[in-house]
Each structure stands twice: as structure tokens, then as C-alpha cells.
Amino acid sequence: MDTLSTMTDEELVVLYAGGNNEAFDRLLERHQQVLYAYILYTVRNKNLADDFFQETFCKAITTIRQGRYTESGRFRSWLMRIAHNLMIDYFRQKKIENTVSNDDYELDLWNNSALCEDTVEVEMVRTQVLSDVKKLVGYLPVPQRDVLEMRYYKDLSFKEIADTTGVSVNTALGRMRYAILNMRKMAEAHNMILTMD
């Protein structure tokens, strides 16, 4: 059995800092899809997204190798923040150089909420949505609630959830699917909006 796949992000970071390159390969496999999707959604340009993606991981590698990584338990958030800061710096520099025009993009880069701090209004909406979600989770059957909490709040893989709960991976996936369907039904029944856009 591959022991790396059962390790937490933090354990893999420690291994990689100690010279185990396979540990970093595993971190890359674990987070590349979400990170790349976030970058591509933000910049809407594949070549630019590729550059930011590579630069983000280069910066992560350098920081870990230098022993400066301290974000305990929040590796994915840390990666997203690196990418976010790289994109902000890039577009600020372009603005200074007067070489970028908003006409070149489908969205206004300077008023893009993905590239700036949240407004008070956005924060209030987020707080309300999270509060509503928490209420709905409380009404789920216990097996569905457990799977959802392990997946979204503890960031466990479905394999880890299956092992923890003593069921098959397919059963864990099924419970997650039903949890989401049930939450949607409850939200519709109570006229709740569970998105922040």
C-alpha cells in the first residue's frame, strides 16, 4: 500500500522538506486540479494560467525547501494565496506599464472580486450562507452528515472517509451525493440561496 496517499498535507510537506521528492509529487497530484481551475477562472487565459500555475508551485517549492512554510493544516489555502498574490502583482505591474486594457478581457480585472479583498457586503453574504449551510447539515441523517463533514471540514479523501466509517468508497460517495441532494431540497423548500455569486 502507498503510505504517502494516507498522509496529511502537513506530513507530506515535512517529508518533502527532508528531501523526499515523491511527497511533493503527491501534494501536486492532490491540489493541482483545484488550483489550476481557480487560476484559469480568474485570468481567463490558458497560457497565462499555465505560467501562474508553474510559478505558484515553484514558489511553494522554494518556501518549503528553505524551511519557511508555517501554514499548519492549511496547505491548499496557502497555495491559493500564493497564486492570488502572483496574479495581483502581475496585473498591478501591467497597469503601471499601461500595457493592459480591460477591453482585452471578458471581465473587469480591477473590479474582479477574485483579485481583491472582499467587501463588507460579500462578507455578510458569506456569513449568512455559511450559517444556512450549517443549519441544513444539522438536519441530515447522521451517516450523510458525517461524510459531508469529513470531506468539507476535515478535507479527507473518499478513501479516508471509507476507512474511517468502515464502508466502501462507493457507499461514502453515495452518502455524499444524497447529502448534497437533500441539502438542495431543504434549501429550496425554505427559499435559501446557498451561493455567494
- Average predicted confidence (pLDDT) for the chain: 79
- Final residue belonging to a domain, choices 76, 91, 117: 117
Sequential DSSP letters for 110-171: GG-GGGSPPPHHHHHHHHHHHHHHHHHHHHS-HHHHHHHHHHHTS---HHHHHHHHTS-HHH
- Position 194 scores a pLDDT of 56
- Position 196 scores a pLDDT of 46
**Mean pLDDT along residues 138-160:** 83
Residue range(s) defining the domain that contains residue 12:
1-117
Show the CA angle centred on residue 63, arms to residues 60 and 67, nearest 5°.
135
- Position 122 scores a pLDDT of 56
Look at 158 and 134; give whichever has higher pLDDT: 158
As for how many domains the chain has, the answer is 2
CATH number of the domain to which 187 belongs: 1.10.10.10
**Same domain as 113, residue 63:** yes
Condensed to tens digits (0 to 9), the pLDDT of residues 95-144 reads 766 544 445 555 554 455 555 555 555 556 566 666 777 777 888 888 88
What is the signed CA dihedral for 157, 158, 164, 169, rounded to 10 degrees? -160
**Model confidence at 26: pLDDT above 80:** yes
- Final residue belonging to a domain, choices 117, 148, 172: 117
